[in-house]
Amino acid sequence: MRTFALLLILVAIAASQPHHWLAVGMAAIAQCMGY
C-alpha cells in the first residue's frame, strides 16, 4: 500500500511538473516493483 501511495505522489508531481526524467524515473520504479 505504501508503494502504491508513493506512485500516486510521483504521478502528481509528474502531472504538475512534466519533465522527461520524471517519466523515466517512474518507469524505472514501476519496473522494479514488477509492474
Cα separation of 33 and 20, whole Å?
A: 20
The secondary structure of 1-35 as a DSSP string is -HHHHHHHHHHHHHHHS--HHHHHHHHHHHHHHT-
pLDDT in tens, 1-35: 688 888 888 777 777 766 667 777 777 888 888 76
Specify the pLDDT at position 29. 83
| Residue range(s) defining the domain that contains residue 14 | 2-33
Reading the block at residue 11, the C-alpha cell is 504521478
Specify the pLDDT at position 15. 73
Reading the block at residue 9, the C-alpha cell is 505522489
Specify the pLDDT at position 11. 77
Is residue 7 a contact partner of residue 29, using CB atoms and an 8 Å limit? yes
Specify the pLDDT at position 7. 80
Specify the pLDDT at position 28. 82
Specify the pLDDT at position 33. 80
- In the chain, the number of structural domains is 1
